Amino acid sequence: MFCPTCGTQVRDGARFCPTCGASLDAAPAVTPQPTYEQPAQDPYAQQATGYPQDPYAQQGIVAAPAYNPNPSEIRHMETDRSIVTVVLLSMITCGIYGFYFVYKCAQDMNTMCDDDEETGGLAVYILLSMVTCGLYGIYWEYKLANRLQKNAPAYGMQFEENGTTVIMWRVIGMLLCVIASYYGMYIWINNLNRLSAAYNARFGV
C-alpha cells in the first residue's frame, strides 16, 4: 500500500507512514499514476532533408510519400497556363505554338511526377498523331490527366477529374458542341497549374 499523503510505499497493516507520520487507518490504497513525457520536436528535421516540412500535414490531409527530386533538377514551374492563350497563339502560328505547348507540358510533368510513367514528348506526339490521324493527341491528354490525378496526393491534393473525364468532354465536343471539347482540355490544364503551384511552394522556387 501507499501513503495517501506523500505516496511512500509502506507495509500492509501499518498504522502510520514512516516518512511523513500520517495516519494510515482505513486509508485507501493509492497507486501512483505513471507520467509520460511529450517527445521533443526535432529542430533539425528540415535541415536533414534539405526541404521544407510538408505544409499539408497540419491540415489533416493524408498525402502520399513526398517527392524529393535531385536539388539540381528543381526549377520553377509555370502556373498560369491558359487554354485561351493556347488556342489563340496556335491559330496565329498555324499550330506551331500548340506543339510547343505540348513539349513544355510533357517536360514539366516528367519533372514533377515521381512514378514509373513518362509523358510522351513532342517527337512521339507528332509521330503517333500522324500515324493515328490525330487520335494519339486525345490519348496523350487522357494519360496526362490520369497521371495528374495519380501524383496529386504526393503534394497533399486530390483531383476528382481524370483521363476519363477529359475524354468524355472531348468526345461530347466533337459530337455535339465544340466548346465542350475545349472544356475537357481546360480540365487538365487547370490541374497541371495546380500541381505546378504546389511543386513551386514545396521546393521554394
**Please, what is the Cα angle at 47 between 41 and 52, to 5 degrees?**
85
The whole-angstrom distance between residue 196's C-alpha and the CA centroid of its chain comes to 11
Answer yes or no: is 128 within a domain. Answer: yes
Answer yes or no: is 56 within a domain. Answer: no
Percent of the chain scoring above 90 in pLDDT: 47
Cα separation, 1 vs 10, whole angstroms: 6
With a cut of 80, say whether residue 93 has pLDDT above it: yes
- Split at pLDDT 50, 70, 90, the class of 45 is very low
CB neighbours (10 Å) of residue 166?
A: 26
- Split at pLDDT 50, 70, 90, the class of 22 is confident
Average pLDDT of the segment spanning 112-125: 90
pLDDT at 86: 93
Extract the runs of DSSP E, i.e. beta strands, from the chain: none
Answer yes or no: is 60 within a domain. Answer: no
pLDDT at 178: 76
With a cut of 80, say whether residue 19 has pLDDT above it: no
Answer yes or no: is 158 within a domain. Answer: yes
Q: How many domains does the chain have?
A: 2
Answer yes or no: is 40 within a domain. Answer: no
CB neighbours (10 Å) of residue 195?
A: 25
Enumerate residues 6+ apart whose C-beta is below 8 A from 31.
Answer: 2
| 6 and 94 co-located in one domain | no
> Out of 12-16, 44-48, 164-168, which region has the weakest mean confidence (pLDDT)?
44-48
Q: Which domain holds residue 17?
A: 1-34
Answer yes or no: is 73 within a domain. Answer: no
**Top-ranked range on mean pLDDT: pick from 15-29, 165-179, 191-205:** 191-205
Enumerate residues 6+ apart whose C-beta is below 8 A from 115.
Answer: 147, 150, 151
| 181 and 119 co-located in one domain | yes
| 99 and 3 co-located in one domain | no
Answer yes or no: is 65 within a domain. Answer: no
Cα separation, 50 vs 46, whole angstroms: 6
pLDDT at 81: 95
CB neighbours (10 Å) of residue 4?
A: 14
- Split at pLDDT 50, 70, 90, the class of 62 is very low
| 21 and 88 co-located in one domain | no
pLDDT at 195: 95
With a cut of 60, say whether residue 24 has pLDDT above it: yes
| Residues 2 and 27 sit within 8 Å (Cβ to Cβ) | no
Q: Which residue has the higher pLDDT, 33 or 192?
A: 192
Answer yes or no: is 51 within a domain. Answer: no
| 94 and 194 co-located in one domain | yes
CB neighbours (10 Å) of residue 106?
A: 19
Q: Which residue has the higher pLDDT, 59 or 125?
A: 125
With a cut of 90, say whether residue 59 has pLDDT above it: no
Q: Is 196 exposed, middle or buried (0-12, 13-18, 19+ CB in 10 A)?
A: buried
| 105 and 5 co-located in one domain | no
Average pLDDT of the segment spanning 161-180: 85
